[in-house]
Structure 1
């Protein structure tokens, strides 16, 4: 597995992963182009040994200069449980570390990724039972560099 920053040519594969992982709750394809322009240092992907893109992670700033967000982490199902998600998240967190007092994210409480985030040091900071609308709960989690 190789981790590296996203390049323009990677965006169709990133969007395909977004659709495969998140189904109906996806960022539109043009969002990823904008994200690459705005936050290239915090937009990483994972490639398998064949050079296929198997996941991505994306961070972004907030209104508070030292409070950042891990906006998205998506990994193809066949690659889960192999440490790829952890490595991707860690790559983005490492890139954010010089600027971050804290990093936040939201995650469905039923998503197994919540356990990954806890292992990375994120703690639950709140819950919104209708984050994306009725029946769409999300945990707000926060990480502070140590």
Structure 2
């Protein structure tokens, strides 16, 4: 399975996710399904191109599909996006306009304490990211009882 960041790096896949999000927000039934042909018409791309991208999104767990005869209806499954959110949170809480001195003064921290806290935060985020991938990799493999 592809890394979630690699999956959403493609602009077409992000466009598909955005369309499905809009549909989800508009849906009264809270499922927000769209057919492949609806997605094709909104993006103006070929059906094989959209289907290829939907397959990648489906394999990453970002979309779910319901089959009805020959038609496929896709919906957003945003749970895997929490991995991206977890990665982004430390960046969103940073005031890039504040100077190090202002941050230290607000927090009452000395520069050594701030550096130590930043190192711990980075180590925690890196470890959390690595552990989530290790767990996903381990749970995706089919384990057999050895004879």
Q: Same fold (TM over 0.5)?
A: no
Task: Report which of the two structures shows the higher radius of gyration computed on alpha carbons.
Answer: 2
User: Higher helix proportion, which one?
Assistant: 2
With normalisation by structure 1, the TM-score equals 0.24
Calculate the TM-score normalised by the size of structure 2. Answer: 0.24
Query: More strand per residue: 1 or 2?
Result: 1
